[in-house]
Amino acid sequence: MDLRQYVQDIPDFPKPGILFRDISPMLRDPVGWAEVMNRFGALCDLVNPDLIVGIEARGFIVGMALATHKKLGFVPVRKPGKLPGAVHGIDYQLEYGTDRLEIHADALRNQPRVLVVDDLLATGGTASATSNLVTKAGGQLVGCAFVVELAGLNGRERLPVNITVESLIVYS
């Protein structure tokens, strides 16, 4: 099945010159969404994670659905100040400044095998920071999974070379 049929191109969003790849039609379609879960489920069978980590915000949708599909636990990675209690955090560079991501300090006890999930891999800054945060918090990063990858932005190059990286739809 060609999953591109479930992605809507939105020109000039969020600003002029940007072509936004919207997965909302995929989320609305049970057949397309089931295919996403089946393909990511096969990836889980390959890398055998103990936990799914989802990146705020659309990574929560994809990650929680996958965790439920594979009967695994789910851990959110959030923007600063959104998680109660003790957290591990990591600051990272963006094209236009810095940002920060956080995870509960106790979320990755006992060195679980972790698959990081998000809707989109673009420049790789957020995915790279999340990968580093997983390691910093005590997890064993075994892979990253994305619904869409914008390959021309070279985000994959910012991810660890020793893990599996899977993108279901790749735009060059």
Judged against a pLDDT cut of 80, whether residue 96 lies above it is answered with no
Kindly give the interhelix angle for 58-70 and 30-47, rounded to the nearest 10 degrees. 70
Does 137 fall in a domain?
A: yes
As a whole number, mean pLDDT of residues 152-162 equals 96
Does 91 fall in a domain?
A: yes
Task: Give the tens place of pLDDT for each residue, 63-80.
Answer: 999 999 999 999 999 999
Amino acid identity, position 21: R
Match 């995870």 to its residue by tokens.
103
Match 């979320």 to its residue by tokens.
107
Does 126 fall in a domain?
A: yes
Task: Give the tens place of pLDDT for each residue, 13-57.
Answer: 999 999 999 999 999 999 999 999 999 999 999 999 999 999 999
Sheet with 113-121, edge to edge strand ranges: 73-77, 51-55, 113-121, 140-150, 164-171
Taking the C-alpha atoms of residue 121 and residue 156, their distance in angstroms, rounded to an integer, is 7
- Domain with residue 44: its CATH number is 3.40.50.2020
Write down the pTM of the prediction.
0.96
Question: Which residues are catalytically annotated?
Answer: 58, 95
Full domain range(s) for residue 113: 37-171
Judged against a pLDDT cut of 80, whether residue 131 lies above it is answered with yes
Does 165 fall in a domain?
A: yes
Burial of residue 152, with CB atoms counted within 10 A of its CB: 0-12 exposed, 13-18 middle, 19 or more buried: exposed
Query: How many domains in the chain?
Result: 1
Task: Give the tens place of pLDDT for each residue, 100-120.
Answer: 999 999 999 999 999 999 999
Burial of residue 149, with CB atoms counted within 10 A of its CB: 0-12 exposed, 13-18 middle, 19 or more buried: buried
